[in-house]
Structure formats: structure tokens, C-alpha cells
Chains A and B, each alone.
Chain A
């Protein structure tokens, strides 16, 4: 549907369009069954950054408060990119892995299922 309006047209670009990021992108990640971190996390990163660097140096420190974080091994995780099963190549860049602006990544860590047996 479209917005009812006065005047000739009602068309706008997204306030969060990729061009506003100067070559970087904005994307989101959720660690499944770790609801101590209540929301998927938002990142801005350069597309040329190797995925391993992003995961080890940007993402991992964010979860330091969780007892599971120390044992987190990305190579053993199960991944989804934009809701579809996905096998990342950690040595390659964010862009080469197909991660785009406003992408949504989900990963599960079998064996690390959060606290209290209910995914906290």
C-alpha cells in the first residue's frame, strides 16, 4: 500500500541507506540462546575487513560478560545469513562473504546453550 497524501508524490529514500555510511555498512548479529544480551547487536564496519577480524576483535569482546564467551569457537557454530543457512569463510572479507548493508546474521553454538537451561 502507499501513503495517502496531498501533493504530487510521496516518495522518500531510506534514512539509513547504504550511501550514508561512506563505504562501510550497517549490519546485525544475534547469538542464539544467549538472551542475557536482550537484542540483536548493531555494527558498523568496513566491507573489506576480514570476517575473522570482525568476529574476534569487534564481536567477541561484546559478549565477555557471558560465561559461555570464553569457550566460543566460531568454526563450530551454525550460521544463518539473512535467514538462510550460510557457511562463512572466516579468512575472507565481510563483503566477500555476502554480508550486505542491513544484513542480519544469526549463529548458534551447539553445546553452549546459555544459562539456566533456558537460553539466557
Chain B
């Protein structure tokens, strides 16, 4: 080559320069998916590339991060890093991540590969392609980091099998599959914008800071390794939404409807994360209520105000989330607790110190309402009658969460909404989910709802919650149920004794 190319020229050549005009087929036949959603794009060249990264530079950065990450994972494993955790109860959070979130990383890999094929603009295609590879890497590094725990603790053994069968994992699974079965513009709006841009701090921050607070170096390290990818993903999310809004005013109501839907679906999914923060972390980072206040009510709302100049308003039902923020995690934990016989992680009643923390963070409602409930459960357990609810629950047709939420204006009454389509009634957990159902009923009538699958005989012939647990490959009272008295707890206590007794560690 005669002269060395400048950065800008090189970038243009190595990205958009690789695209070509088709001559055998019209563009609409080549890219059938990027117009049927109704999004009008007048000028694909107006797409501002958010990444400014060429493929060769991408490989170089990622390889460098990978070397560092695996060096730390090796050291963690060789030094028996699992013994430095705050408590083995913390592992319920890691199990929830492995079973529920790692498969989402893989789903994101697939989703972005599909979206990357679907857009006719080369800039958008390349952004999606890189994210697709990032997400595959996230799935792999998480599996490698968590595989160490599988040598010592229960519940880590069969996440891929469980992912397609377990009632609580159908919550994240159905979230992503809803996005992946939409068109490419809705997909990137849902995942890149609503989930990664608006709500990501409520997923990533609690898990990664939670890991750091609780001595989990393996998880902390992959968290940092993924962070630079995440900032690219967030940029893509914002770029795609602004691009649609700027291209044509007819896009505004379509985008608004997607933001309404995906705010609500994202919020519902994050209830699991909030419950992890408040209950599964032995050392707490912050409460769900505080995190919601900072990351949604301050940052998220400010972002929506920025979008007001395009005609975008706050997502529908955001005020319901505000009303639920002081009870959501307390209600959800008792759901996990009572259906614990089909849950691949342990649950427990928090100790007094933790109850005090909750009283301090959540105030009067917790102290007068939820604390006595938890103490009642503790009393039952101490009498040898640990409470389990073995009757299958009603489940929301949209978010697939058991219908446990209470009415926004009355925490004493369950919130149930009945919708009807295809000649059959269905149930929703909220007005938010009912709105989503009513907008696309033919999509949601197809949903596979775990208790209904069991009753229809589509869960390996399981007739009750115990047979269902076995079908999930969960060993009763080993992988499932109460933490106190579990093999995880017994092993943990024995190892801590040994660990403390070893003189080498005192040095």
C-alpha cells in the first residue's frame, strides 16, 4: 500500500466500505425484515456509528481482556477463592445468574446475529455483529467463572436443561424470546435501549458490586471485563432510538409503544434482581428501593425528559413501579421461599441483623407488615414445619411471573387482570402486562405457562411439584428448598472450620 491510511479513512474502508449494492436482487427482497414493523428510514447513511471500531482492533482489545480475565480466574481457582465468600447463602445469587442471566447473554448473541442480518444499513449491521460476538463471549466467560463453584456447591450442574423447563427461568427466557421474535427494530429497542441503556444499571450494578462486596472475585472480574462492552451496547441503544425518532415522525408512536412495553417487561424482570439484592446478598450493597430511586427515578426519568423533544413521554405505568418499590422484593422473596421445592437455589428467613437492615431501608411498611410475616415463617421452621406451598400458582400470561403482586393502591389485595383472546381466558399480573397482551394477543396466547404445561401433561408427565422438580434435574433438599440444613450449608461450615484451623492461612 502506497501510504498509510488515516484512522477515519481506515474506519470507513473497513466498515461501510465493505458493503456493496446488490445487482441481482432488489434491496427489499434482500432485507425483508427491516420494513414490516412500520419504521420509516429515509437515509440509512445518517446512522452515526456508535462504536468507531474496526474488526481487527476489536479482536485485539477483546483478546487482551480475555488474557487478563483468565489469569485471574486461574488464580481464583488455585487459591480456593470460594472459601473467601461472605457466606454460602451468597451462592443463591450466583445460581440465579447462571440459570437465569447467562442464558440471556447467549440469547442476546443469537438475537443480535439475527438483527445484524436484517438491517440494510451497513453501520447498524456492523454494530449488531460486534455486539453479537460480545454477548457470546459474556456467556462463555460467565460459564468459565461459575464452573469453579460447580465443584463445591449444588445447583450449578444443569443450567441449560433447567433453562427450558423451570418456572422461574421462563421469566427471563420468555422476556428475551418475546424480543427475539419481534422485528429487528423492536429487538434493538427492547434489548439495546430499554434493557441495556435504561435499566442495565439495575442489573449489572447489583450483581457485580454485590459480587465484590461478598468476596466473589471470579464474578467481579468478568463483570469488569464485560463493562467496556456494555458501554458500547448502551451507546448502540441510544443511537438506534434517536435514529428512528429523527428519521420520520411516523416512527414516534411506534417507538413509544415499544418503550411502554419494554419498560414494563424490563421492570417486571428486574424484580428478580431486586430480590437478589435485598435477600440473597449476605453483605448488602443498597436496597432495591434505593437503586430504583437512583437508576430509574433520577437517571432514567432524566433520559426520557431528553427524548421529550422528539415527542416521547414517560413509559406507561411507571407510577405503578413507584408504588411497588417498597414491597416488591418482600413479596417476591416469599414466592421463591414457598415454591422452594421446585427452585434450583436455596431460600431462608433473613437473620435479625438483616431484618433490622430492611426495617431501616424500608421503614414502617416493612416493619409492620413484612417483618411479622418473615418471623411467622421462622417460627414455623423452628417448630420443624418449614412452610412450602406445593400447589401450582396462577402465572401471568405475559411476564410469566406467578401472580403475587398486590394492587398498586392496596398491599392487602392480590392484583389479577383477566384478558381474553382466541376463545380462551388468560390471566395477567398487572395493567402493564394486560396492556401488552391486548396489543398483540395472538402472540401471547401461544405462551407456554409452566403450571399449565404440567397440568396438560407436557412436563415429562410430572403430576406434582416434586415430580416436576425431578424433571428439572433438581435433587430434593439438595438443590432445592431451605438453606438451613442443606448440604451447601453443612459443607460451608466444615470448610470454614478447616480453613481457620490451617496455620498457613494465618500468615
Contact = CB atoms under 8 A, between A and B. Distances in A.
A79 interface: no
Interface in B308-342: 331, 334-335, 338
A39 B404 contact: yes
B369 interface: yes
B426 A41 contact: no
A4 B437 CA distance: 14
Contacts of A102: 424-427
B503 interface: no
B262 to A, nearest CB: 16
Given A1-B439, A38-B334, A82-B418, A20 B456 contact: yes
Interface residues of A, number: 45
A54 interface: no
Nearest to A115: B376
B414 A39 contact: yes
A37 B377 CA distance: 12
Interface string B445-459: 111110110011000
A120 B426 contact: no
Judged by DSSP, the binding face of A is loop
Given A33-B412, A40-B416, A65-B387, A14 B421 contact: yes
Given A30-B414, A30-B416, A42-B393, A12 B376 contact: no
B423 interface: yes
A5 interface: yes
Question: Which has the most chain B C-beta neighbours within 10 Å: A2, A15, A102?
Answer: A15
A28 B426 CA distance: 11
A11 B442 CA distance: 6
A106 to B, nearest CB: 9
Interface in B344-403: 368-369, 372-373, 376, 380, 385, 387, 389-395, 402-403
Specify which of B404, B414, B448 lies most central, judged by the most chain A CB atoms within 10 Å of its CB.
B414
B445 A15 contact: yes
A39 B368 CA distance: 21
7 A-B pairs closest in CB distance = A39-B393, A14-B424, A102-B425, A44-B455, A40-B394, A38-B404, A14-B445
29 contacts: A4-B36, A11-B442, A13-B445, A14-B421, A14-B426, A15-B445, A16-B424, A21-B455, A21-B456, A26-B455, A30-B414, A32-B413, A37-B338, A38-B331, A38-B334, A38-B335, A38-B404, A39-B335, A41-B392, A41-B393, A42-B395, A44-B455, A62-B391, A102-B424, A102-B425, A104-B427, A115-B373, A116-B369, A118-B369
Given A18-B424, A62-B389, A119-B413, 14 more contacts: A1-B438, A4-B36, A4-B183, A15-B446, A16-B452, A17-B422, A30-B416, A40-B394, A42-B393, A104-B394, A115-B373, A116-B369, A118-B368, A119-B412
